[in-house]
């Protein structure tokens, strides 16, 4: 028997990254990456300490 593809309808947020968030499917337990967050402009710049 082949299981139908899980639609991942019921999910819960488990982790958050800079520009992505990870949710776990409550039905199949799979970890999904939901990168629906908008990227901030100028995020490429590393805010390192600049010694004067
Ligand atoms: Zn699922």
45 in a domain, yes or no? no
20 in a domain, yes or no? yes
16 in a domain, yes or no? yes
| Residue ranges making up the domain that contains 15 | 7-36
Q: pLDDT tens digits for 5-26?
A: 999 999 999 999 888 899 999 9
30 in a domain, yes or no? yes
Confidence bin at 46 (pLDDT 50/70/90): low
Distance between Cα 46 and ligand 1 center (Å): 36
Closest CA to 10 of 23, 26, 31, 29: 26
Number of domains in the chain: 1
1 in a domain, yes or no? no
CB 17 within 8 A of CB 37: no
18 in a domain, yes or no? yes
Distance between Cα 18 and ligand 1 center (Å): 24
14 in a domain, yes or no? yes
Distance between Cα 4 and ligand 1 center (Å): 10
What is the reported pTM?
A: 0.56
Higher-confidence residue of 51 and 44: namely 51
């Amino acid at each position: 028997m082949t299981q139908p593809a899980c639609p991942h309808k019921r999910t819960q947020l488990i982790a958050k990254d800079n520009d992505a968030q990870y949710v776990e499917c409550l039905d199949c337990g799979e970890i999904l990456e939901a990168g629906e967050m908008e990227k901030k402009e100028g995020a490429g710049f590393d805010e390192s300490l600049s010694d004067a």
